[in-house]
Amino acid sequence: MKSSTATDLALSRAGSADILHRERLASDFDRLLAANGPALGRLAASYTNTSSDRDDLLQEIAIALWQALERFRGECSERTFLFRIAHNRGIAFLARKRAHMPEPLDEMEIHHPGPDPEAELAQEQSAQRLAAAIRRLPIGYRQAITLMLEGLGYGEIAEVLGISESNVGVRLTRARQMLREVLEKQK
């Protein structure tokens, strides 16, 4: 004869709450990756030189997001939280790769559908030159300019990189100047 005790009921409720919590985390995880996948791909490409390294870094970012999502306290936007995780994974990735010689620059995949193939080709070549120039910047400037190109404001960039907003402004100004110089040399 089975009898339902208060302990059994409490365990059942705790189990149900845990299942609901896990389902909510999985839903949040899927939503964040779906909404920010292309931006994360571009961010990962700014830390890597090859598409295979970019894919490896994206996988590391996804794993780190899953592991950290439960600790998200809402003190910043989800996007800032996600980019902070991606930035930390990118820095760790660079640290591991530092011992190896840099590989030739790979093309950054930027797709923009357009009606005119010649204009599309010119735009793609410009985007590739810009991406290559960004990859040549020192990492601190590369991070700031990449996050700015992803639409983050100074405050969000400061939070992601762990620096002050005024430092973000300085880095962006210097990054733009360096990009102008690099792009002028390519002409």
Q: Tell whether 118 and 46 lie within a shared domain.
A: no
Full domain range(s) for residue 27: 17-102
pLDDT digits (tens, 9 = 90+) for 21-65: 789 989 989 999 999 999 999 999 888 888 999 999 999 999 999
Residue 131 pLDDT exceeds 50: yes
Asked if residue 1 is part of any domain, the answer here is: no
Q: Longest Cα pair distance anywhere in the chain, in angstroms?
A: 86
Q: Tell whether 144 and 165 lie within a shared domain.
A: yes
Q: What is the CA radius of gyration of the chain?
A: 21
Closest CA to 137 of 47, 39, 55: 47
Highest mean pLDDT: which of 1-5, 11-15, 83-87, 125-129?
83-87
Asked if residue 5 is part of any domain, the answer here is: no
Asked if residue 12 is part of any domain, the answer here is: no
Q: Domain boundary at 71, 102, 133, which? A: 102
Q: Tell whether 85 and 122 lie within a shared domain.
A: no
Binned at pLDDT 50, 70 and 90, residue 156 comes out as: very high
CB-CB contact of 139 with 161 (8 Å): no
CATH label of the domain that carries residue 186: 1.10.10.10
Q: Domain boundary at 58, 75, 102, which? A: 102
